[in-house]
Amino acid sequence: MKVYLQLILLSFLLFSAIACDDDDSNNSNNINNTNNSNNTNNTNNTNNTNNSNNTNQVVNWGSCPSYIGSAGYECAQVMMPLDHNTADSTPIEVFIYRKLATVQTGKKQIWFLQGGPGGSGADFASVFEIYAETHPEWEMYSIDHRGVGNSTRLSCAVEENMQAFTYAACAEDLVEQWGVDGLGKFNTTHAAHDVAKAIDLTKVQDIPVFVYGVSYGTYWALRYMQLYPEHAAGVILDSICSPGHCRLDQYDNNFNLNGQSIFTGCDDDDTCAEKVSAQSTSAWEFAESVFDKIDAGTACDGYYPFLDRTLMRNVLSMLSMDQGARVIIPALLYRLNRCDAGDREVIEHLVTMMGGKKSGGAFDIIQNPEDLDASATLGANIIFSELLGDWTFEEVSQIVADALVSPDASTGMVQAAENEEWPLYPDDGYMNRFGNTSMPLLMFNGTHDPQTTLAMAQPTGDYYTGASQTFITMPYSVHGVVYSAFTSDSVDSYTNGDPEYLTNNCGFLMMEDFINDPAAAISEACIDDLNPLEFSTTSQFNQVVSYMLLGTTDMYEGGLMTKKINIPTRPLINPAIRPTLSRLLKKTFRK
């Protein structure tokens, strides 16, 4: 079960992925583009002529599963070849859905690609509802990656039956179902062909098409750009997994480094420094001293016998992912160190909220398995072939053991890779390479993103420097800039329970302008109005976050508030972190 939970966690933690042995892998073409860096390694199909026989297919739109929605939504299964480069290849189903525009003029078609690898496009349905209020002219589409959700699903018996999981047993089952070559077709290259064909089947003349990818969805979109470099009116890359720079072996290390930046922010904050940093030479040093108590079993005088280093660093990793929740991290350790009666009330409230044991729990987002929303197996198939890097099991194990903030995501798969437990698909000529394109691009990444770090994203910005290709660094933002780049208006909306924070934050405003005119310069004025990472007890944002998670508006002092205050409907979970957070919660609280 422990290994199975690691798989669940791993396959939704990040990033990007890749390809297989397509027949056109050696076709190398240069496309007229103002960027010229490293062109010798780029493979592109300027006139893609793969043998997919679905050009005459009619999309039969119908009703949607309840977890997507009903009013204004339509869903369909479209047939795709397992191998886009082979005539008469085995057909598979790919699930798509859309939220219809409610006006007839100025329409735009926007395709949203989810991350993982292995996340479902269904995660976007809730934000489509909000976007539609601001932009009734947008027709919003999403797709379940092949192998995921309601598309032809890649799954093994040990995964579905929740038996004691091993990668070797799962791989053996999958090879029996699909063969080694067929299993390798569940990759990013063929999924990118699926996107292009789905767009071709649904596009309407004179309505521009845009593609938005987040997390692994950016790598998926980059592969689509490689194969179809002039296919869309523009592409938005949010929280970027750059080809050749997404490495699962570094994942836990990246979380820990991001955690250090949060504690550095505490040192620089008057309130947090007075409460936390003053306990030691720095907030990070103080955190290490609390972990020492946890290791010794003396934290809270042993009041929490279940608490160990692993649980603590996993909890902190979950909190660090969220734009709001991360602000309570130093205060949580401050309370755990003191651990009076009030502190214990607050800590137990947090456990209840994160575990979803209370109706309306802030983190009660564990998805219904009947939704078939995501595929850990698809994620593993892609990660093993593309994303592991070259750190050893011994190296990553030591990193995890020393970490204070970590989801413990890297060790299981690195060990399985060393043991060669999963068949790898070969490089098809597209893996870990950029492709040239003159399409307009909007690219952004947060400075406090533990999942796709700024260092991971920057190579994409460095490569695409052509006309109307813009890379933006978003200060303070976590994973999913379009959902987390809070301005003062966003904070007001968020703290008042108004979902408008999804349409007045800085990332969305930039995306909105880009879709309206992809050739125009992107205004960065809203960056000056971003809500900083700060740890005071006086800001309304921090008070609301503290009350939701800790049961009190003062994150540092006192017990639960006896007088309830009116907190409006809790905000939607950032869809960019939803797959990862959901699996982390299952791993941590639902054993």
Is 313:319 a contact under the CB 8 Å cutoff? no
pLDDT higher than threshold 80 for residue 362: no
Q: Are 142 and 392 in contact (CB under 8 A)?
A: no
- Cβ atoms of residues 440 and 469 within 8 Å: yes
> Which of the 8 DSSP states describes residue 503?
T
Which comes out higher in pLDDT, residue 228 or 50? 228
Q: Is 238 left (phi over 0), alpha (psi -120 to 50) or beta?
A: beta
Sign of CA dihedral 32, 36, 37, 38: positive
Q: What is the pLDDT of residue 69?
A: 78
Phi, psi of 510 (to 5 degrees): -70, -45
Neighbours of 536 (CB within 10 A): 14
Task: Give residue 497's pLDDT band: very low, low, confident or very high (50, 70, 90).
Answer: confident
pLDDT at 28 over 50: no
Classify domain 13-26+42-153+189-248+428-524 at the CATH class level. Answer: alpha beta
- Concatenated DSSP letters for 32-74? --S--TTGGG----TT-------TTPPP--B---TTT-STTEE
Rounded CA-CA distance 509/591 in Å is: 41
Half-sphere exposure of 396 (CA within 13 A, CB side): 27
User: In this structure, what token pair is assigned to residue 583?
Assistant: 């699996």
Q: What is the pTM of this model?
A: 0.89
**C-alpha span between 324 and 577 (Å, rounded):** 13
Report how far residue 506's alpha carbon sits from residue 484's, in angstroms, rounded to the nearest whole number.
Answer: 8
Residue 294 corresponds to which tokens in the numbers above? 């946890």
Q: Taking 80 as the threshold, does the pLDDT of residue 547 lie above it? A: yes
pLDDT at residue 401, as a whole number? 97
Does 65 sit behind a cis peptide bond, omega within 30 degrees of 0 on the bond before it?
no
Burial classification of residue 46, based on how many CB atoms lie within 10 Å of its CB (0-12 exposed, 13-18 middle, 19 or more buried) = middle
| CA–CA distance, 567 with 353 (Å, rounded to integer) | 15
Question: Where in 205-304 does DSSP place strands (E)?
Answer: 209-215, 234-240
Which residues pair with residue 445 across a beta bridge?
Answer: 473
Average pLDDT over residues 333-347: 97
Which of 15-19, 142-146, 233-237, 432-436 is least confident?
A: 15-19
Residues 424 and 409: their CA atoms lie apart, in Å, by 20
| Per-residue confidence (pLDDT) for residue 387, from 0 to 100 | 85
- 416: its two tokens: 């399985």
Tell me what pLDDT residue 5 has: 35
Check: CB of residue 588 under 8 Å from CB of residue 311: yes
pLDDT at 41 over 50: no
Please state, in angstroms and rounded to a whole number, the distance separating the CA atoms of residues 560 and 428: 57
- At residue 120, the pLDDT reads 92
| pLDDT number for residue 71 | 82
pLDDT in the model for residue 481? 98
Partner residues linked to 113 by β-bridges: 213
pLDDT one-digit tens code per residue, 77-114: 999 999 999 989 999 999 999 999 999 999 999 999 99
The CA R_g of the chain, rounded to the nearest whole Å, is 23
> How does strand 234-240 pair with strand 469-474?
unpaired
Q: Is 23 exposed, middle or buried (0-12, 13-18, 19+ CB in 10 A)?
A: middle
As given in the structure block, the two tokens for residue 178 are: 């699909």
| pLDDT tens-digit map of 388-445 | 899 999 999 999 999 999 999 899 999 999 999 999 999 999 999 999 999 999 999 9
SS (H, E, C) 64-126: CCCCCCCCCEEEEEEEEECCCCCCCCCEEEEEEEEECCCCCCCCEEEEEECCECCCCHHHHHH
pLDDT of residue 589: 52
Give pLDDT tens digits for 465-496: 999 999 999 999 999 999 999 999 999 998 88
Which of these, 313, 263, 239, 177, lies nearest to 511 by C-alpha position?
239
Long-range CB pairs of 71-77 (<8 Å, 24+ gap) are 72/99, 72/100, 72/102, 72/132, 73/97, 73/98, 73/99, 73/100, 73/125, 74/98, 74/100, 75/150, 77/150
285-to-53, 121, 181, 354 alpha-carbon distances in Å: 61, 41, 51, 26
Short-list 75, 62, 100, 214, CA closest to 150: 75
User: d(Cα 392, Cα 75) in Å, to the nearest integer?
Assistant: 44
DSSP class of 540: H
What distance in Å separates the CA atoms of residue 145 and residue 93, rounded to the nearest whole number?
10
Whether 260 shows a pLDDT value over 60: the answer reads yes
Q: Give the phi and the psi of residue 312 in degrees, each rounded to 5.
A: -65, -45
